[in-house]
Homo-oligomer: A and B are copies of this chain.
Amino acid sequence: MTSRLEALCLEKGLKMTGQRRVISQVLSEADDHPDVEEVHRRAVRIDPRISIATVYRTMRLLEDAQVIERVDLGDGRARYEEATADHHHHLIDTRTGRIIEFASPELESMKERIARELGYKIVGHRLEIYGVPLDEDERP
């Protein structure tokens, strides 16, 4: 009954309200990258007395607490996903909007090397690929 995110909130000493419980549940159950409106839509289905302002506030709270991560996919709004141990990036199908996750240790170390050569230590980075499906005959 207690979602993973709810547990994390308690751990951080945050006051556990009904709306935070619901939003935590929604985010724990999500396996996609919902924006704030979508989180609100899903939350309202569980408890209609949740305002969009509270969703905005809670998303920021959880982001600051490093419990969720903001994903910027280029459309104007912020999307979110549960923070996981394994770092990854996104390939966005520009025809369908489908989001494919991928990770590449080689790419990460190449990026580290580039920063070091420029005299910098990485504190954050962002990488997204936008693409369309390959034609049948060019599949690897």
Binding site for B on A (CB under 8 A): 72, 74, 91, 93-94, 100, 102, 104, 106-107, 110-111, 114-134, 138-140
Q: In whole angstroms, how far apart are the Cα atoms of A100 and B122 in the complex? A: 13
CB pair B110–A123 under 8 Å, yes or no, is no
CB pair A127–B130 under 8 Å, yes or no, is no
> How many of these chains are in the complex?
2
CB pair B122–A129 under 8 Å, yes or no, is yes
- Can you list 7 A-B pairs with a CB-CB distance of less than 8 A? A91-B120, A94-B123, A118-B131, A120-B129, A120-B133, A121-B133, A121-B134
User: Known: A102-B114, A107-B111. Is A125-B122 also a contact (CB below 8 A)?
Assistant: no
Tell which of B118, B128, B138, B140 touches A100, judged by Cβ atoms closer than 8 Å: B118
CB pair A134–B114 under 8 Å, yes or no, is no
User: Known: A107-B110, A110-B110. Is A102-B118 also a contact (CB below 8 A)?
Assistant: yes
Which chain B residues lie closer than 8 Å to A126 at the CB level? 74, 126-128
Tell which of B94, B106, B124 touches A130, judged by Cβ atoms closer than 8 Å: B124
Q: In whole angstroms, how far apart are the Cα atoms of A126 and B94 in the complex? A: 14
10 nearest CB pairs, A to B: A120-B131, A124-B130, A125-B129, A127-B127, A122-B131, A126-B128, A115-B131, A123-B130, A121-B134, A119-B134
CB pair A123–B118 under 8 Å, yes or no, is no
Q: In whole angstroms, how far apart are the Cα atoms of A122 and B138 in the complex? A: 13
